[in-house]
Amino acid sequence: MYQGKLAFFFLSTIILIGQYESTPLDDYVNAPDPHFGWTIIDTYEAPDYKLYILNFTSQKWIDERFSSRSIWWHYLCITVPNRLTRPNTAFLLIDGGSNTDGIPKPNDESVELMSMLALGTGSITADLQDVPNNDPTNQTRNDNAALAWTWKAFIDNQSNPAILMHLPMTKNKPLPSLTWIKSSNNTHGYIRATIDFSVGPKPISAIGYRARTLNEKRRDFRLFIADPSNPVKPMPNPVFWFTTSLVTEAQTNTTIVCSLTIEYPQEGWEGFFIQVNFPGPNGSVLELTTETQIVPDTYPTDDCHNESCAGTLV
Ligand SMILES: *[C@@H]1O[C@H](CO)[C@@H](O)[C@H](O)[C@H]1NC(C)=O
Ligand SMILES: *[C@@H]1O[C@H](CO)[C@@H](O)[C@H](O)[C@H]1NC(C)=O
Ligand SMILES: *[C@@H]1O[C@H](CO)[C@@H](O)[C@H](O)[C@H]1NC(C)=O
Ligand SMILES: *[C@@H]1O[C@H](CO)[C@@H](O)[C@H](O)[C@H]1NC(C)=O
Ligand SMILES: *[C@@H]1O[C@H](CO)[C@@H](O)[C@H](O)[C@H]1NC(C)=O
Ligand SMILES: *[C@@H]1O[C@H](CO)[C@@H](O)[C@H](O)[C@H]1NC(C)=O
Ligand SMILES: *[C@@H]1O[C@H](CO)[C@@H](O)[C@H](O)[C@H]1NC(C)=O
């Protein structure tokens, strides 16, 4: 499933490049192929939608000498909701799987998910399985490998950052933005956050969080640490984060500037950050935070190298 989604994103990347120049991919995709075609294998009628299972032949890849099975055929599952409110839009999931998996059924995970999406969006959806269809080099890439591949391609040739799969993966509906500055003088630390919701929803709330280390030996905000006398044994390190209110420094119709000032602790360290909550879909909450500022900006030991780092902290 996940791999299939990434395959879809990967294709979007290629299509972006295609807008600027004709690539070998354009030439490949645009070449006529007499093998293209489909037959309907099964039809299911659910109360709210119809599901068609097709045997879909997408192409012939190079020739028989190059690959033992050069004709690519796929199971293609198309859901048409009875309530078709977006007839001009469709969603295609380019999915994985193997031709040997057998004919898909309505309750298969990815098929069912696409049918739910069709009902939820009022549009036609399709689950195109068995992509890629075969790989004569035996190097079918999984999702992480495909991501890594796009990074390698970008490092080799940085003229087109859109090759990075992270770009289309990140590209989504507009989100509000949160930016911040951190500073400190000799007595106080300070974070000022600027929330810009000129695109995206207005924030629900903005709060500060602060926590103090247990002592002046460890600049350590983890709830559990390794027992120094037995490093494989976890032991609690009860550093708790408490909420604290912010100062609103400025506000317009589309921005809010708020800040948090924290005095240096008498001993140990204090960490703090600002969290802004935005309304998400269906009652969910999108939480964005600034970086954490830690005061004072000192460490319990001097820099060390090699054997001189041996100690009792961990
Ligand atoms: C699908 O079609 C291909 C030829 O296009 C054929 O080789 C294959 O056996 C068919 N599969 C099924 C399940 O009908
Ligand atoms: C790919 O794997 C198959 C089955 O393991 C093997 O027979 C074939 O020789 C491999 N092909 C290459 C190019 O390594
Ligand atoms: C880098 O990629 C661009 C297309 O994005 C291409 O025009 C250029 O020739 C490539 N450079 C190298 C060194 O491959
Ligand atoms: C440090 O910052 C705090 C908080 O803004 C302020 O009250 C204090 O006067 C500053 N100290 C100096 C020496 O500027
Ligand atoms: C801000 O919103 C108020 C009320 O909705 C409106 O009257 C005002 O013109 C807005 N100001 C700007 C700068 O958009
Ligand atoms: C929205 O939330 C309700 C109640 O938790 C749930 O029943 C419904 O399935 C959710 N809808 C979506 C699209 O997630
Ligand atoms: C640390 O050890 C490495 C090799 O183990 C050595 O090359 C390096 O000089 C050492 N550094 C110091 C500061 O002793």
Look up the CATH number of the domain holding residue 224: 2.60.40
Tell me which of 170, 188, 216 is where a domain ends: 170
Q: Is the pTM of this model over 0.85?
A: no
Please state the domain count of the chain.
2
Together in a domain, 73 and 220: no
* Protein residues whose CB sits closer than 6 Å to any atom of ligand 2: 137-138
Residue 47 inside a domain? The answer is yes
Atom 10 (ligand 2): residue with closest C-alpha? 138
**Shortest-distance Cα residue to atom 1 of ligand 2:** 138
Q: Are residues 67 and 142 in the same domain?
A: yes
Both 165 and 182 in one domain: the answer is: no
Pocket of ligand 4 (CB under 6 A): 185-188, 261
Show the domain range for 239.
Answer: 177-299
Question: Residues near 277 by Cβ (< 8 Å), separated by ≥ 6?
Answer: 203, 204, 205, 206, 207, 285, 286, 287
Q: What is the pLDDT of residue 170?
A: 45
Answer whether 306 contacts ligand 7 (Cβ < 6 A).
yes
Alpha-carbon gap, residue 185 to 283, rounded angstroms:
41
Is residue 304 situated within a structural domain? no
| pLDDT for 17 | 40
Model pLDDT, residue 26: 66
User: Number of H helices and number of E strands within the chain?
Assistant: 5, 16
8 and 154 in a common domain? yes
Q: Using alpha carbons, list the distances in angstroms from residue 206 to 91, 216, 240.
A: 36, 30, 19
Could you tell me the distance, in angstroms and rounded to a whole number, from the CA of residue 157 to the centre of ligand 3? 6
Give per-residue burial for 293-314: e unless 16+ CB within 10 Å, then b. bbbeeeeeeeeeeeeeeeeeee
Is 160 touching ligand 3 by the criterion CB < 6 Å? yes
164 in the same domain as 15: yes
Encoded tokens for 267: 């001993």
Report the residue among 282, 284, 285 best suited for mutation to probe ligand 6: largest number of ligand atoms under 8 A from its CB.
282
- Does one domain contain both 205 and 65? no
CB under 8 Å to 30, separation ≥6 — which residues?
none
Structure tokens at 301: 């030991």
Alpha helix ranges (H) inside 136-243 = 143-156, 166-170
Q: Which protein residues touch ligand 6 with a CB less than 6 Å away?
A: 120, 282
Task: Check residue 5 and give its pLDDT.
Answer: 40
Task: Report the C-alpha gap between 110 and 8 in whole angstroms.
Answer: 14
Q: Are residues 77 and 56 in the same domain?
A: yes
| CA 285–ligand 6 middle distance (angstroms) | 14
Does residue 62 fall inside a structural domain? yes
Q: Hey, whose CA ends up nearest to atom 3 of ligand 3? A: 159
**Domain co-membership, 99 together with 163:** yes
Identify the domain boundary among 170, 197, 217.
170
Q: What angle do CA 230, 231, 234 make, to 5 degrees?
A: 95
The CB of 79 under 6 Å from ligand 1? The reply is no
- Among 114, 140, 170, the domain-final residue is 170
Note the pLDDT of residue 11.
40
Residue type, 281: P
CA 206/CA 246 separation, integer angstroms: 8
Ligand sitting nearest the alpha carbon of 23: 3
Do 13 and 161 lie in one domain? The reply is yes
Ligand 3 within 6 A of 70 CB?
no
How close is the Cα of 85 to the center of ligand 6, in Å? Answer: 20
pLDDT of residue 2: 35
Say if 259 falls within a structural domain: yes
Among 26, 159, 160, 164, say which to mutate for ligand 3: greatest number of ligand atoms within 8 Å of CB.
159
Q: Is residue 121 domain-shared with residue 191, that is, in the same domain?
A: no
Which residues of the chain are under the pLDDT cut of 70? 1-26, 29, 65-68, 132-147, 150, 160-175, 312-314
- Indicate whether 148 and 246 sit together in one domain: no
Protein residue closest via CA to atom 12 of ligand 1: 55
- Paired with 93 in beta bridges are 127
Amino acid 169: pLDDT: 47
Phi, psi of 259 (to 5 degrees): -145, 165
Which residue has the CA at smallest separation from atom 13 of ligand 3?
157
Q: Which atom of ligand 7 is nearest to the CA of 305?
A: 13
Question: Burial level of 96, CB count in 10 A (0-12/13-18/19+)?
Answer: buried
Going by alpha carbons, the residue nearest to atom 2 of ligand 2 is 138
